[in-house]
């Protein structure tokens, strides 16, 4: 004879594990597409302090890269954990610990209407050029950067060519000595 639903004990609700944090910042282990790297999701306000804390605790001394992604037309973005609001732009910073042979990817959400984040230059001086590149091509400004000028595009260039809403145009190619009869 089978038990009726009234006779069965209802299972206790299982609490979801609390999200893991490091220096007050949400981190993921074994996140999808992370290639076994830790992935941290600091808000813009905690971004520099978090990276400084990682460096100061004698771990992540080297910043490998600073780049950005524009998710304007890309609907299949990598998943974000609960509590992280997706924005149009995402700043992605890769740090490495030679001591522990570990990498961490820092993903900072940057809103379209205020594309500004603080610079990492005071923590990792080697970020000067990558931050300029992100500014030049994506239009994300780095507050406190010592020389936030274009690095790849001409100074008089208008717009930021890697933004998804940048108009695609045609620039004629000028070949040297193309019209001199040779």
The confidence score (pLDDT) of residue 79 equals 81
Domain count of the fold of the chain: 1
C-alpha count within 13 angstroms, C-beta hemisphere, residue 9: 3
Has residue 7 been placed in a domain? no
Has residue 143 been placed in a domain? no
Residues in the chain with pLDDT < 50? Answer: none
The confidence score (pLDDT) of residue 5 equals 52
Here the CATH number for the domain that contains residue 31 is 3.30.460.80
Look at residue 52 and give its three-state secondary structure: helix
Strand partners, 104: 38, 95
The confidence score (pLDDT) of residue 13 equals 67
pTM for the whole structure: 0.81
Q: What are phi and psi of 93, to 5 degrees?
A: -120, 130
Model confidence over 71-121: pLDDT tens digits? 998 877 778 888 899 999 999 999 999 888 899 999 999 999 999 999 999
Tokens at 35, concatenated: 């290639």
The confidence score (pLDDT) of residue 76 equals 74
């Amino acid at each position: 004879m089978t038990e009726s639903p009234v006779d069965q004990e209802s299972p206790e609700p299982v609490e979801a594990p609390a999200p893991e944090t490091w220096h007050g910042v949400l981190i993921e282990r074994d996140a999808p597409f992370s290639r076994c790297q830790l992935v941290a999701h600091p808000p813009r306000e905690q971004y520099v302090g978090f990276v400084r804390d990682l460096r100061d605790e004698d771990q992540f001394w080297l910043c490998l890269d600073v780049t950005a992604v524009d998710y304007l037309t890309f609907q299949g973005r990598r998943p974000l954990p609960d509590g992280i609001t997706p924005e149009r732009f995402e700043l992605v910073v890769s740090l490495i610990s030679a001591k522990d042979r570990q990498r961490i990817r820092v993903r900072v959400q940057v809103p379209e209407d205020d594309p500004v984040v603080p610079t990492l230059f005071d923590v990792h001086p080697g970020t000067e050029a990558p931050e300029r590149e992100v500014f030049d091509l994506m239009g994300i400004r780095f507050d406190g950067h010592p020389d936030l000028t274009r690095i790849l595009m001409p100074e008089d260039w208008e717009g930021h060519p890697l933004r998804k809403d940048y108009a695609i145009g045609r620039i004629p190619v000028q070949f040297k000595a193309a019209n001199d009869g040779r």
